Every structure is written in C-alpha cells, then in structure tokens.
Amino acid sequence: MNPVIQWTIPVVVSVYLAAAAQASEPVKIPAAAASCSACHGPAGDNPVSPDTPRLAGQERGYLAHALRQYRDGERRNPVMGAMAKPLSDAQIEALASYFAVQSGLTVKY
Ligand code: HEC
C-alpha cells in the first residue's frame, strides 16, 4: 500500500471517531432537574396529570422562555412560579437544554 495512504486512513478514522464520540456525549442532568421529575416525570417525559405539560423534546428556546416568564411573574402559575423563582439564567438555560434533547414529542407517521 502507498505509505501516504497507509498513514492517512487511521488518522482520518480516529479524527472521525473522536468527533462522533463528542457529538454523542449526553447532556449532563442539571442538579435543578431533580425536583422537576416529581411532576413532569423522569426526563420530563411522564407528566403526573393532564394539566402538567410534557417537557421532553420541547423546543429549547420555548422552555427557557417559559421558565423566565414564571420566574419573573409574567406567566402566572402558583406551582411553577415557586419552582422557577430561585433559578438563575444559567440554571434555566441548562434545564431547557436538558429537557429539549430528551425524546418525548414524536410524530407517529
Ligand atoms: C409540583 C408539580 C411541578 C413541579 C415540581 C414542576 N412543575 Fe413545571 N409545571 C407544572 C404544571 C402544573 C405546569 C403547567 C402550569 C401552567 O398551566 O402554566 C408546569 C409547566 C411547566 C413549563 C411550561 C411548559 C409549557 O409547555 O408551557 C415548564 C417549562 C416547566 N413546567 C418546567 C419545570 C421545571 C424545569 C421544573 C423543575 C425545576 C418543574 N417544571 C417542576 C408542575 C410542576
């Protein structure tokens, strides 16, 4: 085999594998998410009641927006207002990113 090709293939393959490993790394569960599962279900995918929305797979920007609105009193709900009150912007972003990548909302057909 041509020596250039002999060296190039493993280098290209290992760069590809490194990139693939990075891409599939799971988003870490934010500490603040522990309390959410009581109502929204583990990974936000199994709400306890019909008036509790499913968070899994919801748009990241939508989740973050909703949480900021609860926290800042623009969207009023006694339960979620209390849950969101102590959250920082960074915690809100982490929670929104986490729930957005969970599989939940799917199209059947
Ligand atoms: C005690 C039950 C309970 C807990 C705990 C709880 N939620 Fe909720 N959550 C609700 C209910 C009920 C609603 C619907 C409120 C409404 O009608 O606005 C809701 C709504 C939301 C929404 C709006 C979703 C949408 O589709 O508009 C988001 C986002 C959300 N919760 C995130 C969280 C996060 C993040 C946590 C943890 C920090 C959490 N919730 C903890 C009960 C809960």
Name the residue at shortest CA distance from atom 26 of ligand 1.
53
Q: Is residue 23 part of a domain?
A: no
Q: What is the pLDDT of residues 52-96, one digit of tens each?
A: 999 999 999 999 999 999 999 999 999 999 999 999 999 999 999
Query: What CATH number should be reported for the domain holding residue 49?
Result: 1.10.760.10
Nearest CA residue ID for atom 29, ligand 1: 63
Cα(20) to centroid(ligand 1), Å: 34
pLDDT given at position 16: 53
Residue 36 belongs to what domain range?
31-100
Report if residue 41 sits inside a domain.
yes
CA dihedral (37, 90, 93, 76) positive or negative: positive
Distance 80 CA to ligand 1 centre (A): 5
Atom 19 of ligand 1, nearest CA residue: 52
Q: What is the pLDDT of residue 67?
A: 98
* 3 lies in some domain: no
Which amino acid is it at 62? Y
If one counts the domains in the chain, the total is 1
* Closest Cα to atom 14 of ligand 1: 52
pLDDT in tens, 92-107: 999 999 999 998 766 6
In a domain, 83, yes or no: yes
Q: Is residue 82 part of a domain?
A: yes
Model pTM above 0.85: no
Please report whether residue 105 resides in a domain: no
